[in-house]
Copies of this chain bind each other. A is one copy, B any other.
Amino acid sequence: MPSAEFWYEFASTYSYPAALRVAALAEARGVSLVWRPFLLGPIFAAQGWRDSPFNLYPAKGRYMWRDLERTCAAMGVPLKRPNPFPQPSLLAARVALALEGDQRAHFSRRVFAAEFGEGMAIGDRATLGALLTDCGIDPAAGFERAESDANKARLKAECARAAEIGIIGAPSIVAHDGEVFWGNDRLEQGLDWAAARAAKSP
């Protein structure tokens, strides 16, 4: 079965529609998907950015929010801008990484829906705890795993890996052969690539 990775960042606006779309797109192509939460902070910092480029370049930010409005309207999903933007995403990323398989995907979609669909503060421990409960996970156990030294180190390694393989933004699809496809508008192309390349393998 062909496989691909879905790299996403909870503070990233376009990761929101992507997280809602990607599972069905992968399934339709017979592609097995690995959800890989990471942080864009270190990647942006390497480019000299200490804030979201959408804040640093206001014209770009205005365009992005309007584009995202159109994207969400076309999908029929709500959009409510969280304040502040970007939201602190470290704890959410740690919690997601400490989960596995379907639980990780399910929790991640809930976080995005809360953050960008309802404008909730996902840096807040109580918010994340309630989302964990909704997913049938005990919050205390979830946070304990999330904040273990091993899991913190694992998230750091994920961020380093992202930079190493040429990821420059989120969301990104990475095919099993290393091809990187950046953006909510590249999900189909990335998954098509993964499906087609795998079909050619012996």
Contact = CB atoms under 8 A, between A and B. Distances in A.
| Main SS class of interface, A | helix
Contact of A47 (B59, B67, B186): B59
Nearest to A71: B189
Interface string A29-62: 0000000000000010011000000000101101
Interface residues on A, range: 20 to 34
A59 B166 contact: yes
A72 interface: no
A185 interface: yes
A180 interface: yes
Interface of A: 43, 46-47, 57, 59-60, 62-63, 66-67, 70, 163, 166, 168, 179-183, 185-186, 189
9 smallest CB-CB distances across A and B, nearest first, come from A59-B168, A185-B185, A47-B57, A63-B168, A60-B168, A63-B182, A63-B166, A62-B166, A63-B180
